[in-house]
């Protein structure tokens, strides 16, 4: 049964949404079931492996740190935009940051953190060397960014995941 419906709750939810978006008829029920079954099987084919957490409380701590950093960064970017950068000689730049993370799960969390923080963008990651290329809107010192990413975010991610 799980081979035909690898994710039964997902399939059921997709059929329900299909029927809500279309008028109910036997044809739509059958078509929605076929589409939901194919979608659930496609999801099962690309589903990542389950990740075990070593210390989940480190992720809770990371959540609050990232939340504070996002608020701080929003204010800094807003000030930069409103003052047109008149408060100092700052510029945007790229910075290369060597990472110790190698597992896809914590790397994807780090990518979401960097992307969610205004003024930064994850540009590239080299799997072989472990170097992250980061674009920073308001670059003051590259060493500060390396320290921020490695000591503030990566350290907690390394604690959380085996």
Q: What predicted TM-score, i.e. pTM, was given to this entire model?
A: 0.68
CA angle 109, 114, 118 (to 5 degrees): 140
The pLDDT tens digits for 37-87 are 898 888 888 877 778 888 889 999 999 999 998 998 888 888 877 877 665
Beta strand extents in 99-140 (DSSP E only): 120-126, 131-139
Domain identity same for 84 and 18: no
DSSP state of 152: I
Question: Structural domain tally of the chain?
Answer: 2
Picking from 3-7, 68-72, 106-110, 117-121, which range would have the lowest pLDDT averaged per residue? 3-7
Q: Are residues 30 and 109 in the same domain?
A: no
With 80 as the cut, is the pLDDT of residue 139 above it?
Answer: no
Q: Are residues 72 and 107 in the same domain?
A: yes
Query: Which domain does 15 fall in, by range?
Result: 8-46
Q: What are phi and psi of 161, to 5 degrees?
A: -110, 145
DSSP assignment string, 7-73: SHHHHHHHHHHHHHHS---HHHHHHHHHHHHHHHHHHHHHPPPP---S-HHHHHHHHHHHHHHHHHH
* pLDDT the model gives residue 110: 92
């Amino acid at each position: 049964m799980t081979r035909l419906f690898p994710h039964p709750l997902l399939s059921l939810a997709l059929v329900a949404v299909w029927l809500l978006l279309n008028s109910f008829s036997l044809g739509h029920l059958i078509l929605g079931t076929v589409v939901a079954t194919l979608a659930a099987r496609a999801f099962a084919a690309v589903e990542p492996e389950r990740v075990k957490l070593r210390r989940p409380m480190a992720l809770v701590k990371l959540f609050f740190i990232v939340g504070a950093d996002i608020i701080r960064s929003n204010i800094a970017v807003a000030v930069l935009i409103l003052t047109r950068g008149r408060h100092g000689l700052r510029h945007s730049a790229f910075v290369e940051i060597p990472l110790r993370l190698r597992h896809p799960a914590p790397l994807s969390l780090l990518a979401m953190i960097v992307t969610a923080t205004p003024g930064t963008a994850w540009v590239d990651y080299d799997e072989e060397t472990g170097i992250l290329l980061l674009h920073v809107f308001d670059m003051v010192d590259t060493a500060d960014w390396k320290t921020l990413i490695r000591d503030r975010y990566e350290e907690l991610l390394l604690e959380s995941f085996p």
